[in-house]
Structure 1
Amino acid sequence: MTTVFDAPWFYWAVGVAVGLPICLVLLTELHNALLRRNNVLARPVHLLRNYILPLGALLILLVQGMQISGETTPVRIVATVFGFVVLVLLLSGLNATLFQGAPEGTWRKRIPSIFLDVARFVLIAVGVGLIFAYIWGANVGGLFAALGVSSIVLGLALQNSVGQIISGLLVLFEQPFQLGDWIETPSGRGRVVEVNWRATHIDTGGGMLIMPNSVLAAASFTNFSRPPGTHSLSVDTVFAVDDPPDDVIAMLEKVAAMLPQLRPDATPSSVHLGGLRYSTSIPLTTPADDYAAKTQFLRWVWYASRRAGLHLDEAEDEFETPERLQKSVRIIAPTLRLNKAEQEAFLPHVRLARYGTHEYLQYAGEVPKRMLFVVTGTVRLVVTTSDGATIAVRTLEAGDFLGQTTLTREPVTASAYALEEVTVLLVERAHIEELTARKPVLLQDFGHAIEERRSSVQRAVAAAGE
């Protein structure tokens, strides 16, 4: 007598009854853990738990448990759905493991989307062909042959369009640029943000330039991102013919060296092009900084050229008038303890200068050669920590001063930059020494200021480290 244990369906049914719940519990826990970590594999695990595992169990019960023939329509329908879900899992898994989780800068992260589309199309075509061949017994070879003949006919009818696609694909296979590269084409300049079947999308900063791949294949273009670390911005300026070229070049290089967009460990250079023209080469990390670096450089050159007595665009500086100079001396007179007679005697020994917004008036560690007294505007004192962080110490206003260690010939402890356009009164070291010799109380004031600035820097650094 045959028992239930001898039935061919028994062990299959028990395996599904026991294995399905266990697998569901394990996959649920795995899926929750991946979700908590924002892992890209969470979606493939979700497909496996909710669709593939139940459909696989149902297919086993139909064929092995209920002994239904695989040639019947219900079994074929379930098998087809199972095959399609497996195909979706393969697409999702490959995308998650190879591309979504790719580290920045790797070839997987930079690969154009067109290649992903081609890979998906090939995988889908092969998968659908296998499903129809093994489940439904379709003549896939004949179908692909018919598609091949149709493709030839369609290609002849659309040879111009197909030629454009092929030429675009050749450009992409050659990889003359990658996602994130900055290129300049006959139609515009910008950063490559997307590459698809038909065109390359370039972010120009003022909109999105859609450049057909066939146009890129037929035209020449410049890639500013290759080789890396070689991009430089060239800025032309004009000075008066009487300005000494060496003085102009030194001023231009000093201003360019202060730019925050300057590439680390790089040095700008300026050359005299003859006549009135000068060219300054500024190494930058990325072409994205071109506009900001150029505008800031030209703005700071305007102020620096006037402080140096040079004539940008052959213009004369008429800012320092006797009236403005007298007014400025009156503003700083209480700081230097000057009476009216001393103010008049003080005028021939001072000079007015202006600094642009965010331009540095002094750097920490340098020994000042003169003192600067703030007349208008505000100046921010900052200190840079060992890890590169910038900490604000205090803000200077009209009547405050910089460079007080010029008397002791000690380096200053803090840097200073203009928060807005700042006008300062410059007093050379020799005249400061003369003033302190006649007014010993000034020497005490400057000594207190030096100690107070040091204490302020220490407090600011200590507060930042808490």
Structure 2
Amino acid sequence: MRNLFPDSNAAWAALVIVLLPLLIIGAGELEERLRQRDSKFQATVSTIRIWVVPLLTLWILARALLDIDEGNFFLRVEASALVLAMAVTGLSAFRVVVERLADRPRRTGRRPIPRLLLALPRLLLILVALWLLIAGVWRVDLSAALTALGVTSLVISLALQDTLSGIASGFTLLADQPFAAGDWIESDEIEGRVIDVNWRATRVQDRNGDLVVIPNGQLATATITNFDRPTRLHRVMVPVQIERTATPTAAKEMLLDAARSTPGVVAEPAPYVWVTQIADPVVDYQAYMFIEDYTLAPRVKADFGSLVWYLSYRHDVPLPNPAQDLYLFDGAKTAIEARTTSADIRRCLVAAPLMAELDDDVLDQLASSASLTRFERGETIIVEGEQSDLLLLHEGRARLSVRQDGSDDLDVLDFDAGEVFGVMDEAPEMDGAALVVAMTDCDVVTIPPAAAGRVISEAPDLAAVLEQIAATRRRRIHRVLRHHERDAAAATETATEDGDDS
């Protein structure tokens, strides 16, 4: 084997004779396969087959076989062509890779890579090719050029410091990535979707469809709000004023219905409403809704406002009148008119079936001593042992429950308008307390014990009915407690058996 190629030139010749056909044939086959697959790398392989391989072969023949000096002009031209062909090949392959990376958001849904980062490898490849041509092929001493370049760079830096600052800020933004192309951002009263981030500026398309170019130096020192990160979920707040005559419960229900019916509002997290200020003659509310696309925020606010106008009539929740009227306010007269009178309470008593059959004198006595009170939904109206009044539910709905320590309330029965409740002197012995809670906004007539006792003594039929009602409710409470105790005992027994089995 040592004497197979006694002459090194023969070895190079054999290598060229064998390797060159193999490279050309292999590149041709690879190009055909890529063409059949419609691959974009076909152009890169074609450049290698047509230019890189022949030029590399000529350079090897000239240097190894013909022993031509490196300083030969024609050899330097041929080497320059080889370097340029290799650079074009690299740029062609890199262009395909960049196109795939740029198309990645559409294919995978991932965030796009900034174009400035994709341009850096291409710039580096061009600089390396130029260095090989100038310093490697043509043997040009770059030390003096680099020195001159350093002085020139200093002068240019002083003259273009604002521009260079923008470039540095662009690299800072790309490294920190507070936003990417496609994100909706706001900065210094500029709001829009990011179109592109380059080495000097960021281009944003605002809601008007106009293109706004923001220098990166300005963005680097500004406060940026990104509405797409960390999630696309965004809260929309809409202030609403409603007349004070509407109850907060009714107003909140109306606003929540409008929020849930607004297109673009998500179900989870659910909308909610706060009372922010109680003024005269309006109450200020704030409705909060959540959307998954910030671009819909103006439309959601507009649609919500339209629905509030329509629903205010359906829910009988009046909105403020925008007309400018002049009122002469009489505080004393207004207070007297707003006060509940005995006649109002008498009408409430007459509306109850249990009280409607009482004599007029008895009704007048009750009306003169009773009072009308409003309770909000969820508010406790009465707790056993804390109050001895007789209560009449005029409007709304309430629920009688038994509250026990360490467990949920036990629901006993519901009260509708016209029913009475209150004193339960013969309530059963139990751990906890019986209480009545408003299920909706309730208007309750409160009759003091003295007045109730006086009326009951004068109306024995009413006393018998009230006693029958109290007895029925006591039995109901007994039955609910027995069922609860039985269920608790069964649950304890089951848990004990499971523990023994384990």
Using structure 1 for the length normalisation, give the TM-score: 0.58
What's the CA shift for 1:189? 0.4
1:252 match: 255
Q: Is the 8 A contact 2:98 2:118 kept in 1?
A: no
2:93 match: 93
Does 2:83 match 1:80?
Answer: no
What's the CA shift for 1:211? 0.8
Q: Is the 8 A contact 1:9 1:66 kept in 2?
A: no
Determine the C-alpha separation between the residues in 2 that align with 1:108 and 1:49. 36
1:309 match: 316
Q: Which AA in structure 2 matches 1:256?
A: A
Identity across matched positions, percent: 29
Q: 1:253 to 1:70 in 2, by over 3 A?
A: farther
1:115 match: 117
Q: Is the 8 A contact 1:12 1:60 kept in 2?
A: no
SS in 2 for 1:101: helix
Determine the C-alpha separation between the residues in 2 that align with 1:85 and 1:292. 56
Q: Could you report, residue by residue, the CA deviation over 1:369-427 in whole angstroms, capped at 9, with x for unpaired residues?
A: xxxxxxxxxxxxxxxxxxxxxxxxxxxxxxxxxxxxxxxxxxxxxxxxxxxxxxxxxxx
SS in 2 for 1:180: coil
Q: Which AA in structure 2 matches 1:299?
A: S
1:104 match: 105
Q: 1:264 to 1:67 in 2, by over 3 A?
A: farther
Q: Which AA in structure 2 matches 1:28?
A: E
Does 2:223 match 1:214?
Answer: no
Determine the C-alpha separation between the residues in 1 that align with 2:291 and 2:29. 52
1:231 match: 234
Using structure 2 for the length normalisation, give the TM-score: 0.54
Q: Could you report, residue by residue, the CA deviation over 1:192-235 in whole angstroms, capped at 9, with x for unpaired residues?
A: 11111221111113111111111112322322222214422222
Determine the C-alpha separation between the residues in 2 that align with 1:42 and 1:107. 27
Determine the C-alpha separation between the residues in 2 that align with 1:67 and 1:232. 77
Q: 1:31 to 1:51 in 2, by over 3 A?
A: farther
Quote the RMSD (CA, aligned, Å): 3.5
1:280 match: 287
2:269 match: 266
Q: Could you report, residue by residue, the CA deviation over 1:16-70 in whole angstroms, capped at 9, with x for unpaired residues?
A: 55224412322322322442xxx56455445434543444344445445655444
Q: 1:25 to 1:123 in 2, by over 3 A?
A: closer
Determine the C-alpha separation between the residues in 2 that align with 1:48 and 1:299. 67
Q: Which AA in structure 2 matches 1:23?
A: G
SS in 1 for 2:223: coil
Q: Could you report, residue by residue, the CA deviation over 1:271-305 in whole angstroms, capped at 9, with x for unpaired residues?
A: 22224432222212121222332333333333333
SS in 1 for 2:231: coil
SS in 2 for 1:194: strand
Q: 1:245 to 1:50 in 2, by over 3 A?
A: farther
Determine the C-alpha separation between the residues in 1 that align with 2:184 and 2:153. 37
Q: 1:171 to 1:247 in 2, by over 3 A?
A: same
Gaps of 5+ in 1: 317-466
What's the CA shift for 1:190? 0.9
Q: Which AA in structure 2 matches 1:185?
A: S
Q: Is the 8 A contact 1:112 1:195 kept in 2?
A: yes
Determine the C-alpha separation between the residues in 1 that align with 2:99 and 2:147. 33
Q: Which AA in structure 2 matches 1:289?
A: L
SS in 2 for 1:228: coil
Q: Could you report, residue by residue, the CA deviation over 1:330-389 in whole angstroms, capped at 9, with x for unpaired residues?
A: xxxxxxxxxxxxxxxxxxxxxxxxxxxxxxxxxxxxxxxxxxxxxxxxxxxxxxxxxxxx
What's the CA shift for 1:241? 2.5
5 Å matches for 1:401-412?
none
What's the CA shift for 1:109? 4.8
Q: 1:78 to 1:311 in 2, by over 3 A?
A: farther
Determine the C-alpha separation between the residues in 1 that align with 2:84 and 2:214. 36
Q: Is the 8 A contact 2:101 2:113 kept in 1?
A: no
2:296 to 289, 292, 314: 289
5 Å matches for 1:66-465?
68-94=68-94, 96-97=96-97, 100-101=100-101, 103-104=104-105, 109-206=111-208, 207-263=210-266, 265-274=268-277, 275-314=282-321
Q: Is the 8 A contact 1:8 1:65 kept in 2?
A: no
SS in 2 for 1:270: strand
Determine the C-alpha separation between the residues in 2 that align with 1:91 and 1:246. 69
Between Structure 1 and Structure 2, how many residues are aligned? Answer: 312
Q: 1:141 to 1:124 in 2, by over 3 A?
A: farther
Larger Rg: 2
Q: Is the 8 A contact 2:259 2:304 kept in 1?
A: yes
Q: 1:108 to 1:118 in 2, by over 3 A?
A: farther
1:29 match: 32
Q: 1:84 to 1:153 in 2, by over 3 A?
A: same
Q: Is the 8 A contact 1:13 1:65 kept in 2?
A: no
What's the CA shift for 1:79? 2.0
